[in-house]
Amino acid sequence: MKIRHLVIVSSLSLASIPVYAGFADTMRDLRNTLNQFNETSKEVSNTAKEWTGSRATTNSSYAANGFSMGQQLRPKINNLPLYQTADKSSQVINKLSKNADIIFAGNMTKTGLIEVTTEHGNGWIESHLVQ
């Protein structure tokens, strides 16, 4: 009788080995999928940090000059030239009076020209000539 029980128990344990192997394969696949997900989320996070970092750098240059996008500005002088492009040698669209409404559009060049919107259209003006 004892041998019979031993044969039954050993046959049951041998039959369960493929089940354990299948379970181990499934767990290994799950672990690999989770690792891939973790790596992808890290890449997305780093990309987001790079993007917001470059954006923060750009905005800080505006803050350093005291302008924020959409801010209303006023010319310090009469006949302030409104340039067509971000170059002082470009065509002057119009000359703005001291009471002209000017809205900062958010772009600025290294030479100090800022992009603005006025009643005469979009253009570029010298940042040190507005307040």
Instruction: State pLDDT tens for residues 6-21.
Output: 555 556 555 556 666 6
User: What's the predicted TM-score (pTM) here?
Assistant: 0.52
> Does the structure show a pLDDT above 90 at 129?
yes
Task: Pick 66 or 107 by higher pLDDT.
Answer: 107
pLDDT by residue (tens digit) across 47-81? Answer: 777 766 555 444 444 544 678 889 999 999 999 99
Q: What are phi and psi of 88, to 5 degrees?
A: -65, -20
> pLDDT band at residue 122, thresholds of 50, 70 and 90?
very high
Task: Determine the average pLDDT of the residues in 108-125.
Answer: 93
Residue with tokens 């409104």: 82
> pLDDT band at residue 115, thresholds of 50, 70 and 90?
very high
Q: How far is CA 98 from CA 73, 101, 105, 131, in A?
A: 10, 9, 19, 11
